[in-house]
């Protein structure tokens, strides 16, 4: 049997269940009456403490891209020569006369050559294959250059003369006893750096003939930004390439740009857009540079003496 307070509480619960809104007030009154009848002192229910709103501490922020040129940049420089030898553990860059490790002829896994673009027309006329007769290839190359000089482009004569004025003596002295014409060195300098002795490429090549660090070390260059040392090392590398590729200037120039390992791997001029453009540009520059010799050379291995207002270091 329910006591008086129990009955009253039960009635309150029933009212709440039947009317969630209006009956609530009646239920509260009934409970208070029951408590009074039973002599129970009314005690206020503790005030509910709201749960902390964690959303207040959570904010969305729109993060924009950093402003160009602000902050440190991540740069990666790849030395083609060092990369070729990276895949042959224990092997050091080959010196002239050293046997070539067979594995060095393979490109590193994952390396995809850049497809040629603007120079397809040139290599359709001049064979890039190493097995082609080098004399016939050189004749075709020069005939194409003379016919398409404007399309290929040549350095300004004023630039070539300026390089002779500043570095002519170093070029002449470095080419003595080599298979490299001073006119070819002049052409390489014009295309590689435009005669800028402090030039540095994004890939890490340095100096007037743009030697990679491994190549500079290989040919005894201590300071690549010293033009005399750089020219001497660049000529030594060109001479080595001429020997390596049986005096084939097209293969030698391709090797100077892409590394001899790439030429060997592709058995010819590598299908890199840069290299496919580099070779005709240097040959076109050589075709102009040779006119600055007292006796015009016919081959890139012919010696010559520059003519001009002065030669650097003449005293």
192, 244, 260, 274: the active-site residue: 192
Does the active-site annotation cover 192?
A: yes
DSSP for the chain, written as a single string: ---HHHHHHHHHHHHHHH-TTHHHHHHHHHHHHHHHHTTPPP-PPPPPPPPP-GGGG------PPPPTT-S--------HHHHHHHTSTTPPPPPTTPPPPGGGGSPPTT--PPPP-TTHHHHHHS--BTTS-HHHHHHHHHHHHHHSHHHH----HHHHHHHHHHHHHHHHHHHTTSS--HHHHHHHHHHHTTT-TT-B-TTS-BTTTTB-HHHHHHTT-S-TTSHHHHHHHHHHHHHHHHHHTTT-HHHHHHHHHH-HHHHHHHTBS-S-HHHHHHHHHHHHHHHHHGGGBSS--SSTT----B-SS--TT--
> Which residues belong to the active site?
192
């Amino acid at each position: 049997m329910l006591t008086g307070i129990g009955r009253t509480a039960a009635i309150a619960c029933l009212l709440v269940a039947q009317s969630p809104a209006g009956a609530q007030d009646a239920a509260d009154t009934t409970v208070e009456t029951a408590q009074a009848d039973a002599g129970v002192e009314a005690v206020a229910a503790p005030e509910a403490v709201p749960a902390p709103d964690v959303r207040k501490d959570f904010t969305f922020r729109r993060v924009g891209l950093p402003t160009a040129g602000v902050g440190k940049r991540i740069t990666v420089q790849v030395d083609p020569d060092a990369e070729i030898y990276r895949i042959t553990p224990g092997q050091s860059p080959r010196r002239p006369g050293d046997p070539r490790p067979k594995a060095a002829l393979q490109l590193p896994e994952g390396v995809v050559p850049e497809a040629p673009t603007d120079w397809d027309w040139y290599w359709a006329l001049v064979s890039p294959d190493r097995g082609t007769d080098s004399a016939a290839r050189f004749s075709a190359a020069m005939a194409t250059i003379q016919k398409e000089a404007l399309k290929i482009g040549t350095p300004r004569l004023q630039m070539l003369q300026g390089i002779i004025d500043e570095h002519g003596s170093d070029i002449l002295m470095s080419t003595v006893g080599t298979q490299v014409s001073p006119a070819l060195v002049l052409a390489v300098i014009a295309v590689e750096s435009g005669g800028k002795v402090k030039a540095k490429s994004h890939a890490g090549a340095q100096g007037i003939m743009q030697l990679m660090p491994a190549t500079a070390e290989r040919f005894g260059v201590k300071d690549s930004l010293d033009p005399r040392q750089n020219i001497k090392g660049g000529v030594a590398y060109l001479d080595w390439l001429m020997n390596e590729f049986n005096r084939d200037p097209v293969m030698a120039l391709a090797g100077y740009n892409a590394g001899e390992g790439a030429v060997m791997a592709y058995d010819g001029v590598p299908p890199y857009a840069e290299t496919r453009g580099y070779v005709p540009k240097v040959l076109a520059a050589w075709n102009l540079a040779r006119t600055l010799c007292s006796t015009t050379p016919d081959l890139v291995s012919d010696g010559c003496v520059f003519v001009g207002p002065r030669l650097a270091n003449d005293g």
